[in-house]
Structure 1
Amino acid sequence: MSTADTAISDEVKQKAAEAKDSLNEHTLKTVHWHFSDETGSPFWLAKKSELKFDPLKDVKSFDDLKKFPEFEDEWLRGGPVDRWIPKGHQGKPTYVFETGGTTGIPKSRVVIEDHWKDYELFSDTLPDEYFPKGSNWLMLGPSGPRRLRLAVEHLAQHRGGICFCIDLDPRWVVKLIKKGWMEHLEEYKKHCVDQAVTVLTAGHDIKCMFATPKLLESLGEALEEKGTSLQEVGIKGIFSGGTEFTPQWTKFCVEEMLGGPASEGGIYMTPTYGNTLMGLACSKPITAEQGYKISYYAPQPRAATEVVSFDDYNQVVGYGETGRVKLYTLTDEFFVPGFMERDEGEREAPFETYPWDGVSGVRPFHELATSTTVGVY
């Protein structure tokens, strides 16, 4: 037993066992939905004949998902996208969200209500003191065919507010970086931040916002140049997300930009880790005492993450050890039995709020890191 195991209290161990039971039950329900002729999606019903086992008989727990082959990126590129719509949801208004697409065909995911449900669950984790109900929001992030923009708008509406958005094309940002047009990149970033400054200083009473780390930093600088600050324009709560979210950046952001922790500076910031496939993983509260360490916990049982060995993607590493992030999506709209993320990190132990495994130190997977262009995130 590792030291991390012994550090987990009996109460958390009990909660973790209950969470695992819930995950097993939810997995069974999800697999039966996607592989039953009456409710399943054309994609998985067709795939069933290629599998070396019967999902309806042989999947009895979450761990049985390891029987599935690795979920492939290419399955999500190109159409027809309606092959992903389960028969049980046919005829409902459907969204399609894209991810990637800087080169070639982007990956796309069909969604009916998952983005609403994910962000309503996330809403329950936000402290009302800093994200007051009824407040208006600013969405300073990617627009266009992105899930995030509609999800943040729904979050604002769910909490009783109105969401103000900007125009931002992340694919253009990546192209500028790849071409080395850094002057154009700076101008485009300024163009995006200028839109945000205009909205924040137009009397719309915006108290909450989403921003990627890079844009949040640029926004703080732009407001400072105008002789004001995030506090002075009325911001109280910020939720942020992106690969640039490191302990070093968080320390700078909290101590330099936000004037200290929320109790001192008046602004509460929470990091998140999310994507079009999974939804949103929340962070364990970050503190100076813990060196601004960021640990993310997936929204179980609707999604789960594992940190797995670089040599064997079915083998979970020990607590505190490094591995690649493996994702499972388990909703009645979308089923992903093991997708290898482009990230790596350290496995984190369960704790009271999220009694299941988490991941910290998230960064681009080292074998892909040189070919990964982070862009606006």
Structure 2
Amino acid sequence: MGAVGEVSEAEFQSSVSASLDRLNEHTLKTVHWHFSDETGSPFWLEKKAELNFDPLKDIGSFDDLKKFPHFEDEWLRGGPIRRWVPKGHANKPVYVFETGGTTGVPKSRMVIEDHWKDYELFSETLPEKYFPRGANWLMLGPSGPRRLRVAVEHLAQHRDGICFCIDLDPRWVVKLIKKGWMEHLEEYKKHCVDQAVTILTAGHDVKCMFATPKLLESLSEALEEKGTSLAEVGITGIFSGGTEFTSQWTRFCVEEMLGGPPEESGIYMTPTYGNTLMGLACSKPITAEDGYKIAYYAPQPRAATEVVTFDDYNQVVGYGETGRVKLYTLTDEFFVPGFMERDEGERERPIGSYPWDGVSGVRPFHELASATTVGVY
């Protein structure tokens, strides 16, 4: 990944300015697609009548998206799912993925190709040495109606590999936690990890994998009990994600579990921050010199994040200051003009590879933290 020091300050500022121009242009195009009678989705065309402005005339830049009311995730709960499908994509096959809803009626997002595009972009950030093309993958995470499972499989196929998956129902995990059945929870986790160990020790030449932090740790322990390790079974590249991904856990993971940085351990781990609405935000490379700090950058212009003040969600905090994460999704399949995430963090400055704002220290939003059940994540 590039750094500011690799280019002159003038060149860097020019790339920051160009990325904002791209975002403004992309915003305009996206709004016109979703609010035009010929291409828009029934949901947004209906919502247009409730707005006190005309999106086709009054949105000229990304900043103008603040004119929209905040996107309510309750809009995603229940159907009909077809109201989200843009008329411009009317005859294409549609996927439906659950987002968040681990209790009650699931929140659903329709997708056509966004999950492919997002992970193809992410693929470009993976170092070839540790994520070799043609290598097979293991998906150690939620299965069923989850975007992540299908997306990781596409990532493997996009990189000429084959993806091995396990069965994992996050809804059952949350139920076990809420009932206080910790013994059952431990057994279910063991059941998931056992499936992964079986795949990794079956001669399938799996070199790359996705895992949530908790499951990665459990997998490492299970392999150790069998007298082997992630490195010994052939793993060289790990992509992981979830709110459990803290600097403290990353330090433990790199120094204790993996056996040092990639050049020593032979295993490269990259943290990501993503969800079914946004796609995938990549992290700048994590290093001991930087205190294992994790800073995420959204895949602009397809999605953007802001860190906003706790008392005014239209006001961005200063660099290094803490606020709530606000998300915008801007694709021709799905439009989210400002969704308040259940996370908070610190606003980060643009960097060479990602000349736009990032967010670090991502953790559950303090006002909701006590009510958030993390489960396998």
TM-score range, shorter chain: over 0.9
Q: Deviations over 1:227-285 (max 9, x none)?
A: 00000000000000011000000000000011100000000000000000000000011
Q: Which amino acid aligns with 1:47?
A: K
Residues of 2 paired with 1:356 and 1:259: CA distance?
A: 33
For these two proteins, the number of residue pairs brought into alignment is 371
Counterparts of 1:6-45 in structure 2, within 5 Å, are: 9-45=9-45
Residue 321 of structure 1 pairs with residue 321 of structure 2: yes
Residue 90 of structure 1 deviates from its aligned partner by 0.3
Residue 105 of structure 1 pairs with residue 90 of structure 2: no
Counterpart for residue 247 of structure 1:
247
TM-score scaled by length of structure 2:
0.97
Counterparts of 1:17-96 in structure 2, within 5 Å, are: 17-96=17-96
Residue 91 of structure 1 deviates from its aligned partner by 1.3
Residues of 2 paired with 1:28 and 1:147: CA distance?
A: 27
Residues of 2 paired with 1:14 and 1:229: CA distance?
A: 46
Residue 140 of structure 1 deviates from its aligned partner by 0.1
Residue 308 of structure 1 pairs with residue 313 of structure 2: no
Residue 13 of structure 1 deviates from its aligned partner by 1.7
Counterpart for residue 167 of structure 1:
167
Counterpart for residue 222 of structure 1:
222
Residues of 1 paired with 2:226 and 2:10: CA distance?
A: 53
Residue 12 of structure 1 deviates from its aligned partner by 2.2
Residues of 1 paired with 2:324 and 2:240: CA distance?
A: 23
Q: Which amino acid aligns with 1:272?
A: T
Structure 2, unaligned stretches of length 5 or more? none
Residues of 2 paired with 1:63 and 1:199: CA distance?
A: 48
Q: Deviations over 1:202-225 (max 9, x none)?
A: 000000000000000000000000
Counterpart for residue 345 of structure 1:
345
Residues of 1 paired with 2:22 and 2:339: CA distance?
A: 21
Residue 151 of structure 1 pairs with residue 151 of structure 2: yes
Q: Which amino acid aligns with 1:275?
A: N
Residues of 2 paired with 1:283 and 1:237: CA distance?
A: 15
Q: Which amino acid aligns with 1:155?
A: L
1:98–1:147: 8 Å Cα contact kept in structure 2?
Answer: yes
Residue 310 of structure 1 deviates from its aligned partner by 0.2
Structure 1 runs of 4+ aligned residues shifted over 4 Å read none
Residues of 1 paired with 2:308 and 2:9: CA distance?
A: 24
1:342–1:368: 8 Å Cα contact kept in structure 2?
Answer: yes
Counterpart for residue 376 of structure 1:
376
Counterpart for residue 123 of structure 1:
123
1:241–1:271: 8 Å Cα contact kept in structure 2?
Answer: yes
Q: Which amino acid aligns with 1:59?
A: I
Counterpart for residue 234 of structure 2:
234
Residue 73 of structure 1 deviates from its aligned partner by 1.2
Counterpart for residue 180 of structure 2:
180
Q: Which amino acid aligns with 1:278?
A: M
Residue 9 of structure 1 deviates from its aligned partner by 3.3
Residue 104 of structure 1 deviates from its aligned partner by 1.5
Q: Deviations over 1:316-361 (max 9, x none)?
A: 0000000000000000000000000000000000000000000000
1:39–1:88: 8 Å Cα contact kept in structure 2?
Answer: yes
1:245–1:271: 8 Å Cα contact kept in structure 2?
Answer: yes
Residue 10 of structure 1 deviates from its aligned partner by 3.1
1:319–1:347: 8 Å Cα contact kept in structure 2?
Answer: yes
Residue 365 of structure 1 pairs with residue 344 of structure 2: no
Give the secondary structure class of the aligned counterpart of 2:49: helix
Residues of 1 paired with 2:71 and 2:99: CA distance?
A: 16
Give the secondary structure class of the aligned counterpart of 2:75: helix
Counterpart for residue 272 of structure 1:
272
Residues of 1 paired with 2:307 and 2:37: CA distance?
A: 33
Q: Which amino acid aligns with 1:295?
A: A
Counterpart for residue 196 of structure 2:
196
Residue 101 of structure 1 deviates from its aligned partner by 2.6
Q: Which amino acid aligns with 1:179?
A: K
Residue 178 of structure 1 deviates from its aligned partner by 1.1
Structure 1, unaligned stretches of length 5 or more? none
TM-score scaled by length of structure 1:
0.97
Residues of 1 paired with 2:241 and 2:36: CA distance?
A: 36
1:12–1:350: 8 Å Cα contact kept in structure 2?
Answer: no
Q: Which amino acid aligns with 2:230?
A: L
